Amino acid sequence: MSVTLKALAKTIRSKNAGTDKITFDIIFREKEQYEKVKQSKCLTKETIAKLYDIDESRITDFVEYDPAYAIKFTIKRSRPSGDPGEGDVFGSQQYAPLLDVEID
């Protein structure tokens, strides 16, 4: 039976990482929940690229950080923060697609 990422994670967020990148944090309270997600391989550079419909080369960092029970990744923006036509200056609204990722 699958469960969504939002049901397992304590925090799922996105924010600016400079003017041309957005960083994402997925943090878990318990080691067991973190390990379940990590071992499922539902979050990899490849799955994130598909989820965000971007080329995998735009993902500059991807880290499974065991001491904090966290998965972190950074994406190059398609246009700089504050650029005319850019819709999320602070990068804080980009995490939403992660919420419903299903974990088997």
The ranges assigned to domains in the chain are 3-98
Is the pLDDT reported for residue 95 higher than 90? yes
Record the pTM.
0.93
Burial class, 24, CB count within 10 angstroms (exposed 0-12 / middle 13-18 / buried 19+): buried
Residue 35 confidence (pLDDT) = 98
Residue 85 confidence (pLDDT) = 83
Which pair of tokens denotes residue 26? 């997925």
Which pair of tokens denotes residue 92? 């804080």
CATH 3.30.70 fits 3-98, yes or no: yes
Are 58 and 50 in contact by the 8 Å Cβ rule? The answer is no
Q: What is the tens place of the pLDDT at every residue in 40-92?
A: 999 999 999 999 999 999 999 999 999 999 999 999 999 889 888 888 999 99
